[in-house]
Amino acid sequence: MNKCVFLDRDGTINVDKGYLYLPSDLDFISGVPKALKMIKNKGFMLIVVSNQSGINRGKYTVNDVEIFHNEMNKQLIARGSTAIDAFYICPHFNQNCDCRKPLPGMIISAAKDYNIDLTLSYMIGDKETDVLAGQNAGLKKSYRVDANHSLLFYAKLICRWL
């Protein structure tokens, strides 16, 4: 079985500019490329799980988000980092679904698709809903980034434990 670090996108990997979908607006948070490479080098998959209600609200399309994610991976590789293995999105807003965080649907789907052992996996995000999604999925640990605890901080913490 695989182990994984699940990641929120906006506010965790890149600067959250609100309803972000244009590749020209992509701005990585400091230390992110290094953190992703460090995590990947320890044998973890990297999977983004992101609420994207802007799709349901008509602000952008699923295709726009896929183009953004392709650009994200392209820029990560260009910076000497590693690509994200997979992206899962919840396009819903005010709908009854099991994929919108804090519900664990995206994490559970990814675990099935990639044979991931959830008890060896982590969640890192910038909101309480991210932490709750990881807890609801039964992950080993969930972390919340803030001004003092970046993705790089948690990458070092996770990798040091191994």
Q: Is 113 a catalytic residue?
A: no
Query: 3-state DSSP: the chain helix, strand, coil percent, rounded to 5?
Result: 40, 20, 40
> Is 48 among the domain residues?
yes
Question: CB within 8 A of 102, min separation 6: which ones?
Answer: 128, 129, 130, 132, 133, 136
Q: Is 10 a catalytic residue?
A: yes
User: What is the reported pTM?
Assistant: 0.96
> Is 150 among the domain residues?
no
pLDDT, tens digit, 9 for 90 and up, residues 86-145:
999 999 887 789 999 999 999 999 999 999 999 999 999 999 999 999 999 999 999 999
Tell me the C-alpha distance between 139 and 123, whole Å.
Answer: 7
How many domains, in total, are found in the chain?
A: 1
Strands 3-7, 122-125: pairing kind: parallel
State the CATH number of the domain containing residue 86.
3.40.50.1000
